[in-house]
Structure formats: C-alpha cells, structure tokens
Amino acid sequence: MALNQAFLKGEHTAVDIVSYFLQRICRFDPDLGAFLHVLSDRVMSQARQLDLSRAHNRYLGRLAGVPIAIKDNIHVQGELTTCASNFLSNYVAPFHATVTRLIEREGGLILGKTNLDEFAMGSSTENSAYQLTKNPWNLAHAPGGSSGGSAAATSGRLAPLSLGSDTGGSIRQPAAFTGTVGFKPTYGRVSRFGLVAFASSLDQIGPFANGVEDIALLMEVLGHHCAYDATSLPIPPERYRDYLVNSIRGKSVGIPWKFLEGLSDTSYALFSRTLEVLKELGVKIIEVELDRLKYSLAIYYILSTAEASTNLARFDGVRYGKRSKRAKTLDEIYNMSRGEGFGREVKRRILLGTFVLSSGYQDEYYKKAQKVRTLIIEDYKAAFAQCDLIAMPVTPSPAFKLKAIQNPIEMYLQDLYTIGANLAGLPAISLPCGQNAGGLPYALQLVGPQLEDKKVLHFAYQIEQALNLSPFVPPLLDREAGA
C-alpha cells in the first residue's frame, strides 16, 4: 500500500498521516455520518509509538502507518462497541477482536468505529439508533448496509481501509453503492472472535478498500487461524498479492442468466458491458444453472432470524447493556430493557426468528430451510465444476434514495444477489465497474469456490486494471490525494 511504503521510506510520519485523516473526518463526516466514535487520542498515541519504533529500527508491520476504520460491532479493547443500538450505548469492550489485534500487531492505526444498521440488521444503515449515514456520491442516497459507515468512510477517503461484516451481503452491497471494493472471504477464513454475532453460520468479517491490491494486503494480515473461534479454518495464511498479476486468459466465468431474468435494462446493460471486458481478457463466458437461488432470500430470512433470535437472547438487561429504570421485577427487567433498547427492525427479526423456531413450526420452516440450503450448496459445486468463478450483479440497482424504501420486504430484496454466497460460505467480491446515467456507481460481483479467495482477488484485480477506473473518487468530495 502506498501509505505504508511512504511511511517506511520516511516520506511521512505516522503522526502526519493520522492528522491528515482526522482533519478529513472533521471536514467531511458531519455531512457523511460515517463514524460513531473517532478514537483521536488513542490513534495519535499509537502513531507516536510507531514513529518511535521506526526511529529505533524496530519491526513496523505490513500495515504500519495505515489508518483503518472498524465497524462498530467489532471489538476494540477499551472502546465502546454499541452495534448502533441503544441497548449497548454504555458497553466497553473488555478484549480485542482477533482482527483488531492482528491489525495493531502489523502497525495498523485504528481511527474509529463506524455506523451500521443496528446489530447489522439492514441494507441501508438507516436502522442505526444514533445517526444517518449518507452516500459520498450523492448525499440524498443511502450508502447501503449494514456496513454503510465503513463503506462511506473508505469511499469518502476518511479512511484508506475499513472493516465490515457480511451476513447476507452487508459488505458487498454498500461497496457497490459507494464505489469501493468490498470482499467477503470464505466462511471461517477470517476469525469472528470479537464480532458481535447476528447469524453465526452466515457472519463473516471482511475488508473495504479503494483497490483490489489493498484488499489482498489486508487479507494477508487477517487470514490467520484463531484458536478462540471454533469456526476458524485451521489452514495457513496465504500471500494473495502473489497471484494478482498473472493473466486470466483461458479461464472461464459462469453466468446464471435464468436467475438474472429480472434485471432492469440499465443494470443489464452495465453488467453486459463488464462481461465484454472479461471476453477481451480472454475469459470464456458460459451459462450455469443456479435455479435454486430464487429460494435463497426466503431461506436466508428464516435461518438468519432464527440464529439472531438465539444470539440476541443474551441481551437481557442483567449482565451488560441497557437496564430499564422502570423495571421492578426480573420479568420486567427482561421485557422493558429489550423493549426500550432494541429498535423496530431488530424486534421484527427476533419475532420472526422465534416464530420459525417455535414448537410446531420448526420442522415446517427452519429444518426445511436447512435442507434447501444444502441443495443450494450442491448447485454451486456443480456450477464450479464447469467454470472458475461465477459473475452476477451485486444489487438489482444502484444506490436508492434515503427513506425511499419503507416496505421491509422490498428492502430485503436488495440482498437478492448477495445472499447465496453466505448460505454456501463462498468468497465473493464487489468491484466497481462504472456508473449509471445519474452518476451513481455500479458494481460487478465475482463468487468463487470455497477457499479460492486468491482466485476471486486475482480475477478482480485483472478486471480492475482493464477497466482503468482509478481513481474512482466521489464528486462531492475534494480530489486531493488521500489514500
């Protein structure tokens, strides 16, 4: 990364780098609303220590001098983790998440905690209990969700890198809306220890950046086995950047055209134009069958809400978080604390999850959904037997206007093309590939087989170089060199 190299060469001090980005946050974040907490004192202290380490020729790390923003459902020891919920407004993390520990070990500088849909439940970051985050490309439009704060921070050059979490598309969809690169690794490739759980079989931490090479660098830091996470894969880290420059000529990409029949004319034209770039790179385009993906939305909202209902049962007003001042009995503590602390969307998903797990309905909904999930996984395996990767849009359309979608079902449909990768535990990336007539970013999604994260990044890098869209800078922000 350029900032890391500039720091290592002595062209900039860590204090100067951090000061620059803190100034940008002061200048632009009042309009964007990307950050919930800016850790100014902490990050400046770390920057001074890093400068001392460089002066004494100590190990500096692969992220030395690089500021990073963290979604506020990922723990930073000694700092608030609110999950953008009133319930956790006073919760201070007693330990580091594995990812934040790894970042600081490699000299990364944590700038602050970013806004999100409450407990990561949403597709617009409008469900935050604290503030509204806006899209740097047009402040009247949503940045996507649930990781909208991290996406807006990176798109707006308030942080060169950021972390989000992806349960059904919550990295890729906001990346698509904000013109950034967003990557969901293979399930288990990046530790979830220290991530506040939404749906444990679907959640995955992943990075945002303004280029694929920076995604690959951060993945080299984050992709380590973690003994504290039972789902962490016991495999060694990989050097993803070593694969980026190789040609993809002779490779093949599958398109599930039947699943994409509902694409609008504009989305179809932008998607098809990107496929032409793949053909120019010598990639063969074939059709693959993923017909069961049409059930993925229903399957996802059965399984994710069931797991959310279970995971959020721990928030009871007894051990931590909000406790209602009106409560007099134990039952009132439970009911009133949750009633006052949780927002409408969280309550809606808890109710739905409790329903599908309830006696008499578990076989009809939850267990049946698990069976269909297995069939979807098998469909992906059959498709990857014919091609290297699968390509599809990230979203049905570019970023929608804030408050434009009030119907929950219509909002859930924003995840239509991203959910399948979570259900199957596959690596997937959102890559900006142009703009619509209104000047809003549009993105391509690449999905790979399990553990083929390097292949997804490899293809994405080659497409990025061929498109030559960099710098992809929002017009509402100044164009000074920031990241």
| In-domain check, residue 307 | no
**61: CB partners within 8 A, 6+ apart:** 105, 106, 107, 108
Which class for 465: exposed (0-12), middle (13-18), buried (19 or more C-beta within 10 A)?
Answer: middle
165 among known catalytic residues? no
Q: What is the pLDDT of residue 470?
A: 58
Task: Give me the chain's average pLDDT, please.
Answer: 94
Tell me: pLDDT of 247 over 80: yes
- pLDDT score recorded for residue 483: 42
- Give dist(CA 402, CA 410) in Å, integer: 14
pLDDT value at residue 481: 42
- The total of structural domains in the chain comes to 1
Domain membership flag for residue 305: no
pLDDT in tens, 276-302: 999 999 999 999 999 999 999 999 999
Q: Is 191 a catalytic residue?
A: no
32 located within any domain: yes
Task: Assess if residue 75 is contained within a domain.
Answer: yes
Task: Report if pTM > 0.85.
Answer: yes
- Domain assignment present for residue 79? The answer is yes
Q: For residues 276 and 266, what is the distance between their CA atoms, to the nearest angstrom? A: 16
Which residues fall within 8 angstroms of residue 113, CB to CB, at 6 or more apart? Answer: 35, 36, 37, 39, 69, 70, 71, 72, 76, 79, 80, 81, 82
- 71 included as an active-site residue: yes
482 pLDDT band, cuts 50/70/90, is very low
Residue 294 lies in a domain: no
Flag whether pLDDT at 391 surpasses 50: yes
> Distance (Å, rounded) from C-alpha 116 to C-alpha 106?
26
Q: How confident is the model at residue 266 (pLDDT cuts 50, 70, 90)?
A: confident
pLDDT of residue 267: 86
Crossing angle between the packed helical segments 212-222 and 98-105, to the nearest 10 degrees: 110
Q: Is the pLDDT of residue 468 over 90?
A: no
Q: What domain range is 124 assigned to?
A: 2-251
Helix (H) or strand (E) holding 7: helix 2-8
Answer whether residue 376 shows pLDDT above 60.
yes
| pLDDT number for residue 106 | 97
Q: Of 146, 150, 304, 309, which is the active-site residue? A: 146
pLDDT digits (tens, 9 = 90+) for 149-202: 999 999 999 999 999 999 999 999 999 999 999 999 999 999 999 999 999 999
Interstrand relation of 67-71 and 161-165 (parallel, antiparallel or unpaired): parallel
**Amino acid identity of 78?**
G
Alpha-carbon Rg for the chain, nearest whole angstrom, is 21
Please tell me the distance from the alpha carbon of residue 410 to that of residue 221, in angstroms, as a whole number. Answer: 37
The helix (H) or strand (E) run that includes residue 353 is helix 344-357
What DSSP string describes 273-333? HHHHHHHHTTPEEEE---GGGGGHHHHHHHHHHHHHHHHGGG-SSSSSS---TT--SHHHH
Going through 344-440 in order, the beta strands assigned E by DSSP cover: 389-393, 428-435
Kindly state whether residue 233 falls inside one of the protein's structural domains: yes
What would the two tokens of residue 123 be?
């597709």
Catalytic site residue from 150, 170, 267, 430? 170
pLDDT at 116 over 50: yes
Confidence category of residue 476, pLDDT binned at 50, 70, 90? low
Please name which of 155, 165, 68, 78 lies closest in space to residue 112, comparing C-alpha atoms.
68
CATH number assigned to the domain comprising residue 58: 3.90.1300.10
Q: Hey, is 432 helix, strand or coil?
A: strand
Buried b (16+ CB within 10 A) or exposed e, 344-378: ebbeebbebbbbbbeeeeeeebbeebeebbeebbe
Q: Quick one: average pLDDT of 371-376?
A: 97
pLDDT tens digits, 421-445: 999 999 999 999 989 888 999 999 9
* 480 has pLDDT over 80: no
pLDDT tens, residue by residue, 306-352: 999 999 999 999 988 889 999 999 999 999 999 999 999 999 999 99
Q: Is residue 102 part of a domain?
A: yes
pLDDT mean over 261-269: 85
Q: For the residues 105-113, what does the mean pLDDT come to?
A: 98
- Using a pLDDT cut of 90, give the percent of the chain over it: 90
